Amino acid sequence: MGDYNSRNGNSSRGGGSRSEGPRRDGANRGGNPRRREEGAEGGRPERSGARKHAQRGGSGRNVGKFQAGPNRAGFREERIVARQNEPDLPSDLDVKDLDPSVLQDLRSLAKDNADAVAKHLIMAATLMADDPQLALRHARAAKDRGGRVSVVRETAGIAAYHAGEWKEALSELRAARRMSGGPGLVAVMADCERALERPEKALELAREVDTAELDEETRIELAIVLAGARHDLGQHEAAVVELGKADPRPDAEGVSASRLMYAYADALLAVGRKDEAKKWFEYSKKADVDGLLDTVDRIRELS
């Protein structure tokens, strides 16, 4: 478990859910911070309902109430130490590079603090693929400053996921899901359960969401992860069924489609349907125009 290099394509760690967190190219899902690029194809994704944030320090909301957070002994000292240990931020970062919807969410914070959070989110996005540990430090710094904002918690969860901190990832993604509602990054959460060697939990988590609420890419990601959970349990026929529900099609194109075909071929091979498996590896190879998968090797093995 937890092997990012597993070739079977049945999990994010082995080619399943590919949530890459707060990307700078705008091609993001789940409400993660994105860097905005003028004229980028696809633009801003549809969002199911606007987020609603409580008024921070609203007029008289907490008057006379005990507050365990900022008033507890040692809180100020802990906060100072945390700020001193934050990773450095380059001087040329521009918070306007973030998607406007993310900047809107951060308006619930004080301006200077919101700017710092935005810059840490940008760094987390930038470093996610090449230096996931440093990306996680930036995401944690953003959380320390703006942990009441769902997109910040979501970013912390994705960063923890890429850094292999499965428990932390689950905790943060659950928090983000509670704050914003909706299915959240259910495929990533399910894959974390697999990494923690809890495939039953991954299957349970999937039953909590209405797949009709998910876009096609997310449905594919979830199917791949759930098939992986079935394989973990030795339920290889059920894995074929899970992937079949996602409707793999020989003429489909794109990264998600090619990975679905790959996972489907691998599941067919696991139940002894070698000839069918080879065909689906070939379909996957055709759809994989960027050559991201090892379909050539798999086809050669079956020839």
Domain spans in the chain, listed from the N-terminal domain onward = 20-36+86-184, 199-303
Residues 6+ apart with CB under 8 A from 43: 26
Which one is the CATH code of 199-303: 3.30.460.80, 1.10.260.40, 1.10.1740.10, 1.25.40.10? 1.25.40.10
The CATH-assigned architecture of domain 20-36+86-184 is Alpha Horseshoe (1.25)
Q: pLDDT of 17-76, one tens digit each?
A: 445 444 333 333 333 444 443 333 333 333 333 333 333 333 333 334 334 445 666 666
Asked if pLDDT for residue 86 goes beyond 80, the answer is yes
> So what's the pLDDT on residue 71?
60
Measured in Å, how far apart are the chain's first and last C-alpha atoms?
29
- 20-36+86-184 and 199-303 have identical folds: yes
The pTM assigned to this predicted structure is: 0.75
Q: pLDDT of 99-123, one tens digit each?
A: 999 999 999 999 999 999 999 999 9
Helix (H) or strand (E) holding 107: none
Q: What is the spatial distance between Cα 41 and Cα 122, in angstroms, rounded to a whole number?
A: 20
Under DSSP, the state recorded for 59 is T
| Mean of pLDDT values over 206-227 | 93
> So what's the pLDDT on residue 82?
67
> So what's the pLDDT on residue 191?
97
Q: What is the spatial distance between Cα 41 and Cα 26, in angstroms, rounded to a whole number?
A: 9
> So what's the pLDDT on residue 83?
75
